[in-house]
Chains A and B, each alone.
Chain A
Amino acid sequence: KNEVEQSPQNLTAQEGEFITINCSYSVGISALHWLQQHPGGGIVSLFMLSSGKKKHGRLIATINIQEKHSSLHITASHPRDSAVYICAVRTGNQFYFGTGTSLTVIP
């Protein structure tokens, strides 16, 4: 069983498109994280959420605690957004990760 499920697994978009990546989780959480893993393998934290919505540039993350669901939106997508996006939840001192959504943005 996976505590965190992401969809879609793979996503190809044309430059400029609006993109949505979904994350559902089955455990009680202290916080939800969205991470970006670059083609070279490095991982950076994009957002940390415990409620509501956060925005950073063209990226928006939302969370619905009651429905145990979060979405990551990318507006006006660009080829440099091509990466794997990972949803992770923290429960106590443990972290659980989704398998990631591989995004390719075509010029």
Chain B
Amino acid sequence: NAGVTQTPKFRILKIGQSMTLQCAQDMNHNYMYWYRQDPGMGLKLIYYSVGAGITDKGEVPNGYNVSRSTTEDFPLRLELAAPSQTSVYFCASRMTGWGGGNQPQHFGDGTRLSIL
């Protein structure tokens, strides 16, 4: 199993450009998450999805969009890149099911994004 795969690993964008960060998982997990990690700060939840076709905002959604057309894929879209979006982005997934939702998250290796 590959687990959670994020692409690309690194990217430099110019202000105003757009791009999509890809995230795919092969564990048939229903929940997927996008986080950003800034230096000296804890991870912040951007968006999450509880299943295909269902997404919801996290703590810091402004400037981002997501979609979840399949169970496996959860891309994160930046429409107009701004320097404040320079960060390391992590995708994660977890399974919930019968008996409650206390399953650990599995994280991708991260995408380091710089906006110049």
Contacts and interface: CB of A to CB of B under 8 A. Distances in A.
A33 B105 contact: yes
B110 A45 contact: no
Contact of A94 (B40, B42, B59, B92): B59
Nearest to A46: B104
Contacts, number: 59
B75 interface: no
B77 interface: no
A31 B103 CA distance: 9
Interface stretch (B13-21, B43-51, B78-86): B43-51
Given A4-B42, A95-B45, A97-B42, A44 B107 contact: yes
B97 interface: no
Interface residues of A, number: 24
B102 interface: yes
Interface in A48-94: 48, 50, 86, 88, 90, 93-94
Given A88-B43, A99-B41, 20 more contacts: A2-B42, A4-B42, A30-B101, A30-B102, A31-B101, A31-B102, A41-B88, A41-B110, A43-B92, A43-B107, A45-B104, A45-B105, A50-B102, A90-B101, A93-B56, A95-B33, A95-B105, A97-B35, A97-B44, A98-B42
14 contacts: A30-B100, A41-B109, A42-B107, A43-B110, A45-B107, A50-B102, A86-B43, A88-B43, A93-B31, A94-B45, A94-B59, A96-B45, A97-B43, A99-B42
Interface of B: 31, 33, 35, 40-45, 48, 50, 56, 58-59, 88, 90, 92, 100-107, 109-110, 112
